[in-house]
Amino acid sequence: MTKKTKSNTSKEELENLLPGYNCGICGYARCEEFAGALLKKHTTLDKCSFLYQELFKENLEQMRNVLKSENIILEEKPVIGLLDGYEADFILKPLPKESSCREILYPFTREKLKKEDIIRYRPLGCPITHFGKIIDEEHGLITVHMVGPCHRLSDDSEEFQFKEIGLCMVGGFEGIIEGQLPNVGETVRFLPKHCMMQKVHSGVVVQLEGKKALIEGIDLKVWAPPIKREK
């Protein structure tokens, strides 16, 4: 009788935790082949889109633990904000082929704003002036991409003209989660990848599609003790 090795046992564990649909979306014909490829570092967990559905969230976490025991996945270092030393649950990265996370704003100005406008504003609670390009406008709410903090101030060309709209409230962020996935409805601490101050934000996850998240109720106050830094 052949003695089972640790890798063989791990492969069986992974197979049992996979959805078992044998759909081929991951690039392998069967879940069994995908499990073997994971252990050989030929693929990654995110190739199986089903694992990121709510139904398989516990399976995904158990699979991560199996892969950590095989040193396939290394232990993740905590994400710490540089400004205040708070620990974030995850980093929020831009959507594919976009320059920054999408930021949903409530502008206090009465000026008419439209798609493609460049605006200068300051988020409520943030000391930094932002420049954004409007990518969507709906019922007074605007969605923007960051286009820089200060580089437009010294250029008078038409390309670099902007509208000064003053103070805005940040209503939400949309982007890709880098780190452990939260639950919908969960209050989270996150670090927007493009944040110039590298400050941890907090908010509530209202939508989750794979790793794509919409977070609302944004606050720069984080109700948690900061991480103590070594002197």
pLDDT of the residue at 139: 87
pLDDT of the residue at 30: 94
Asked whether the beta carbons of 122 and 168 are under 8 A apart, the reply is yes
pLDDT tens digits for range 115-130: 999 999 999 988 889 9
CA 127 to each of CA 87, 88, 115, 121, 207: distance values in angstroms, whole numbers, following the listed order: 21, 20, 26, 11, 29
Averaged pLDDT, 175-189: 91
Whether residue 105 is predicted with pLDDT greater than 60 in this model: the reply is yes
pLDDT of the residue at 9: 85
Q: Which CATH superfamily is domain 6-69 in?
A: Electron transport complex subunit B, putative Fe-S cluster (1.10.15.40)
Asked whether the beta carbons of 203 and 216 are under 8 A apart, the reply is yes
pLDDT of the residue at 69: 87
CA 213 to each of CA 11, 43, 74, 90, 127: distance values in angstroms, whole numbers, following the listed order: 31, 23, 24, 11, 26
Q: Which carries the bigger pLDDT value, residue 164 or residue 225?
A: 164
Whether residue 158 is predicted with pLDDT greater than 80 in this model: the reply is no
Domain assignments of the chain as residue spans, ordered by start? 6-69, 79-219
Averaged pLDDT, 139-162: 72
From the list 212, 203, 202, 181, the residue with the least C-alpha distance to 98 is 212
pLDDT of the residue at 3: 43
Lowest mean per-residue pLDDT among 48-52, 71-75, 165-169, 224-228: 224-228
Mean pLDDT of the chain: 86
